[in-house]
Amino acid sequence: MSNKVIYAIYNDDDILMDAVKKTRAAHHHIEEVFTPFPVHGLDKAMGLAPTRLAICAFLYGCVGISVATTMMSYIMIHDWPQDIGGKPSFSFIQNMPSFVPIMFEMTVFFAAHLMVITFYMRSRLWPFKQAENPDVRTTDDHFLMEVAVNDNEAELVTFFEGTGAVEVKVIEKN
């Protein structure tokens, strides 16, 4: 199987959206779309699944509140109990109101930091990673759609020229 892909370059986001819809309707596989700014509705037009990052954030928040509860229970009740402001140190439940701000902060801290790490790992954005931008114009004012070629190169070139692409290139990808 060849590693050829077609780069269809557009200069308007509305034309790109129409081209993505036509490409999906023609049952061609869109590998990636590069845009200089977020295009509203592009993820749905490409048929991408909704993100599960919010589920991860909830789970990480649960880990954070568990760590905060365990930490405060051990430090303030078992290890070194202190009489702070006249509050007894006999049980966690009696001191719960004073622990709520710390529990909230640890929940947000764990959710935010672990969610960022998860996003970078899921997106494969490692430190010192080389950029995968196929055309420098996509960082300025052009849009690029990358579509896999399956022994129908001439047909795809004609198809993308008909969708309003200003430039169509066939590239051998590594």
Q: How far apart are CA 144 and CA 43, in angstroms?
A: 14
Under 8 Å between Cβ of 57 and 40: no
Is 92's pLDDT higher than 80?
A: no
Which residue type is seen at 15?
I
Give residue-wise pLDDT tens across range 99-155.
899 999 999 999 999 999 999 998 888 888 887 888 888 888 999 999 999 888 889
pLDDT for position 138: 85
Mean pLDDT of 3-20: 93
Would you identify the CATH topology of the domain 4-50+141-172?
Answer: Alpha-Beta Plaits (3.30.70)
| Phi-psi domain of 82 (left: phi exceeds 0; alpha: psi -120 through 50; beta: other) | beta
Structure-block tokens of residue 120: 């970078």
Confidence label for 2 from pLDDT (cuts 50, 70 and 90): low
DSSP assignment of 10-71 equals ES-HHHHHHHHHHHHHTTPPEEEEE-SS--TTHHHHHTPPPP-HHHHHHHHHHHHHHHHHHH
163 alpha-carbon distance from chain centroid: 28
Where does residue 127 rank: exposed (0-12), middle (13-18), buried (19+ CB within 10 A)?
Answer: exposed
